Amino acid sequence: MIKTIIWDWNGTLLDDLELSLGSVNVLLKDRGLPILTFERYKEIFCFPVIKYYETAGFDFSKEPFEIPARQYMDLYHAGENKTQLFPDVVKTLSSLKEKGLRLLVLSAMEDGNLKKMIANAGISHFFDGIFGIKDDFAREKVSIGKQMTKILNLNPEECVMVGDTLHDAEVAEACGFNCILYSQGHVSRRRLETKGVKIIDKLEELLSF
């Protein structure tokens, strides 16, 4: 029986695709590189994000990754107040909580910023734990997932990871969680289908199973 749902944040609960694409395109344009379309973005976005940056055209023989990574976060945070939750987030979280499920957030966003954004979105009260990483470089979140499992004494077989990227499926596999992927985030459905797990197009679909 599933007792815990572990949520990704960006692109799963928070609809920030437009902000993310716009921010990276500013950096590409500043460097005289071709900007990304939504379709291209969804075909190349991955973790660690340094690989996605390289595929987008950044040349880290000319500058360290940390420079565009910090510039990106500055642009992202400047526009984050314009982002919104996906339309069915509150309904879904509320219904799952009423069913007695424990809800957690596991994100590759820096922990302090993550908690601030969730609080500003008005949904902190739904979660029994919020776990982010220590910096802004979004390398991976397997390690924090394993720490969370140990800290909360989770039984992985009773957990479902819900996310929008291939890395969410990798985290689930590494930690022993079940996995459901969401098709409206940062990665194309075609790529998500390569993981062979359940894919949903609306978060409220979770309520039916």
Q: What CATH code is carried by the domain that includes residue 161? A: 3.40.50.1000
Q: Could you say which of 28, 47, 82 is where a domain stops?
A: 82
pLDDT (0 to 100) of residue 34: 98
Tens-level pLDDT at each residue, the chain (209 residues): 999 999 999 999 999 999 999 999 999 999 999 999 999 999 999 999 999 999 999 999 999 999 999 999 999 999 999 999 999 999 999 999 999 999 999 999 999 999 999 999 999 999 999 999 886 555 679 999 999 999 999 999 999 999 999 999 999 999 999 999 999 999 999 999 999 999 999 999 999 87
Same-domain check for residues 109 and 178:
yes
| Structure tokens given for 84 | 């919104």
CB 118 within 8 A of CB 134: no
Same-domain check for residues 49 and 96:
no
The CB density around residue 135, as the number of other CB atoms within 10 Å, is: 12
pLDDT (0 to 100) of residue 134: 84
pLDDT (0 to 100) of residue 209: 78
The rounded radius of gyration (Å) of the Cα atoms in the chain is 17
| Structure tokens given for 141 | 């979140």
Q: How many domains does the chain have?
A: 2
- pTM of the entire structure? 0.94
Same-domain check for residues 40 and 127:
no
Same-domain check for residues 101 and 169:
yes
Same-domain check for residues 178 and 99:
yes
Q: Give the long-range contacts of residues 186-189, CB within 8 A, separation 24 or more.
A: 186/10, 186/11, 186/17, 186/20, 186/41, 186/42, 186/45, 187/11, 187/42, 187/45, 187/46, 188/39, 188/42, 188/43
Beta bridge partners of 129: 104
Domain that holds residue 36: 17-82
pLDDT (0 to 100) of residue 6: 98
